[in-house]
Amino acid sequence: MTADIIIYHNSECGTSRNTLALIRNAGIEPHVIEYLKTPPSRALLEQLIERAGIAPRELLREKGTPYADLGLGDASLGDSALIDAMMAHPILINRPLVVSPLGVKLCRPSEAVLDILPTRQLGAFAKEDGEQVVDNDGNRVQA
């Protein structure tokens, strides 16, 4: 099945790989955007943040980024400054962001994508670490 699903993906990230696999486990082949190679425009990034219903600070990634070096922990920095930093350093954009007909979501943890997929899971799914998140009948396993 093809659906209008977009994932802003980093193949080096386990959460991003698990999210992509969950989308495919629903029988959907998404449009994969490797955002480190092809970052979104500022206007698109602002739109994604708004549609996800989060603040720019919630999209900032700290681990493995220049977050601390850039002083982004300073609570007095406004949204515009945080978006400026993400535009200059796309690694600061947390991932994976998924766009579907049902909404936009930062999928951390990866199973959060289940809330915005238009189709059910086709079968069981376990994350790379072995954690079972979907049972054999395609139902979400409650933790």
* Residue from 13, 60, 82, 86 carrying the catalytic annotation: 13
24 φ, ψ to 5°? -65, -30
Which residue from 100, 142, 137 is spatially nearest to 122, judged by alpha carbons?
137
Half-sphere exposure of residue 54: CA atoms within 13 angstroms, side-chain side = 19
Q: Give the separation between CA 12 and CA 91, rounded to whole angstroms.
A: 11
CB atoms within 10 A of CB 17: 17
Q: Which helix (H) or strand (E) element contains residue 73? A: none
**Which 3-state string (H, E, C) describes 82-138?**
HHHHHHHCHHHECCCEEEECCEEEECCCHHHHHHHCCCCCCCCEECCCCCEEECCCC
The answer to whether residue 13 is catalytic is yes
Residues labelled as active-site residues = 13
